[in-house]
Amino acid sequence: MASLGENHLAEDWARVRARLLAEVGEVEYRTWLKQVTLSGLTGDELVVTLPTRFLRDWVNKEYGELITAFWQAENGAVRRVEFRTAPASARSNAPSLAEPVAAPVPAAPSAKPEGSSAPLDPRFTFDTFVVGKPNEFAYACARRVAEAPASAGFNPLFLYGGVGLGKTHLMHAIAWELSTRQPGRAPVSVAYMSAEKFMYRFINALRSQSTLEFKNELRSVDVLMIDDLQFLIGKDNTQEEFFHTFNALVDAGKQIVVSADKSPSDLSGLEDRLRTRLGCGMVADLHATTFELRYSILEAKAQRAGVDVAPKVLEFLARKITSNNRELEGALNRLVAHANLFNRPLTLETAHEVLHDVLKAHDRKISIQEIQKRVCEHYNIRIAEMSSARRARNIARPRQVAMYLAKILTSKSLPDIGRHFGDRDHTTVMHAVNRITQLIAQDAAFAEDVELLKRTLEN
C-alpha cells in the first residue's frame, strides 16, 4: 500500500492518470479527464476537483467507477472518490465578461506568409469551450485534429451547425493549439480566414495580376481553416480556386478545416465535386443547445469573470434565451455591466428590467392548438383524440403530454387548458402534468422524447 505522504499521493495520481489514458484513449482523455485535479486525501476519501459543475457531474457519472477502481488498486487507503468543483480562487483568472482583454497572438514556430491568417480571439480556446451532449462529438474531433493534423479520416474536418453554436470557437481553438504547441513538437503553420476574406483576397489577386503569389501563399501552409464556407455559394470562380487549393493541400498531406451552417450534402449551390471532397473526411455537427448546456455555459462565463450570479438568474436566462450561445453570453454581459455601473445585485428583477427587449423577442406565443397538432403528428394520432373520451394508453399518454406542454409553454390557466381538451376539469390537467413530470424523472427515453417536442415547439 502506498504511503499517505503528498509525494506518494502524487505518484499514485500519475499512475492513475496513465491508466486512464491507456483505458479511454487520448482524444477522450483530453476531452473529459485532463482537467481533473487531485485535491487531497482525508481519511479514506480522496477528493478530486474539476473547473465547472457540468464537467464535475459528467466525469463523476461516466468515469467515477473507473477512477475509483484505479485509485483503490494503487492505494488501499482509498475507499471512495469525491468529485467537487474547484473553488473560485483556483480557477483561471480570465478577463471580465463585459471587458475582454486583448492578448497577443503567439507567433507560430515556423514562418507564415504575411496576411495569410486573420487574428485569433484569445477567449476562444479549448479550455473555455463548454462541452455537452449537443457539441461533444464536434469538440472531440477538433481536439483530434489539433493533436494530430491530417490524420486519416479527419481530413478535411467539416464543422456545421446554426449561428452561435460554437463552430468559430472550435476553429480558433484548433488554431491556438497548433500555433502554441509544446517545444520539441514539429512546428505548424496555420492560415485561418473567413470564406468572405478568401474571396476578397482572390479577387484582389486577380486585379493586381498576383494570382501566383496568392496560390503559393495559401498552399505553403500546414493547416488551412476556412470559416462560413456557405458564403462561397454562387461565387463560381472563387469555388474553383478553393477546390484547387483544397486538392493541392490534401495531396501534400496538409490539414483542411472548414465550417458552414449546413452539412456538405445540404449546401446547394456548391459544385458537386467540391461538395463530394468536403464530405469525404470527418463531418461533425453542433446541435441546438439543451437547457443543461446553456446553464453550464453561463456558469462557466460567470466563474471565469469572478462574478457572483445566483443560480436562479442563470436558470432564468438558460430557459428564456434558447436561440444561440452568442445571445446568451451577450445577455449575461449586459447584466454584469449593468450591475457594475449601478452597483446593483444581479437579481431576477434586474434581469427582467435590463433584458426586456431580448426577452420580448424570445417570448414567442405558442398556442395550445399548435401544441396539440405537433403532439398528434409526433405520436401519429388524430387531432380529434385530444378532445375525445378514449382512455386507451396510446391515446391518453399523448393527450397528457400535450397538457403538460401546454402548462409549461403557455400562460394559460389549468381550467383554460382543460377547455381545449374536451372541457376537461382542471384536476384532470393537474393529474396529467404530475404524471408526465414523474415519467420524465423515471424514464430517460421518454424524457428525451418530451424535450424534443418542447424544443421543436420553442424553435
pLDDT (tens, 9 = 90+) of the chain, 459 residues, equals 333 455 678 888 888 888 888 887 776 777 678 888 888 888 888 999 987 777 788 888 888 888 988 888 888 888 899 998 876 544 443 323 333 333 334 443 333 433 456 778 888 889 889 888 888 899 999 998 988 888 878 889 999 988 888 899 999 999 988 877 655 666 688 889 888 888 988 898 888 888 888 888 888 888 999 998 988 888 888 888 889 989 899 888 899 999 998 888 888 778 888 888 888 889 998 887 888 888 888 888 888 777 788 888 888 888 888 777 888 888 888 888 887 777 777 888 888 888 877 776 655 567 899 899 989 988 889 998 999 888 888 899 999 999 999 988 887 888 889 999 998 988 899 999 999 999 998 888 888 888 888 877 875
pTM: 0.57
Strand pairing of 45-50 and 223-227?
unpaired
Integer distance in angstroms from the first to the last C-alpha of the chain? 57
* 209 in Cβ contact with 131 (< 8 Å): no
CA distance 146 to 137: 14
Q: Rounded to the nearest 10 degrees, how much is the dihedral formed by the CA atoms of 371, 375, 376, 378?
A: 140
DSSP secondary structure letter of residue 372 = H
Q: Cell numbers of 173, please?
A: 481553438
State residue 194 phi and psi, 5-degree precision.
-80, 160
* 325 in Cβ contact with 164 (< 8 Å): yes
Closest by CA to 214, choosing from 182, 248, 174, 180, is: 248
CA distance 335 to 326: 14
Burial 354-392 (b: 16+ CB within 10 A, else e): bbeebbeeeeeebebeebbebbbebbebeeebbeeeeee
CA distance 231 to 349: 41
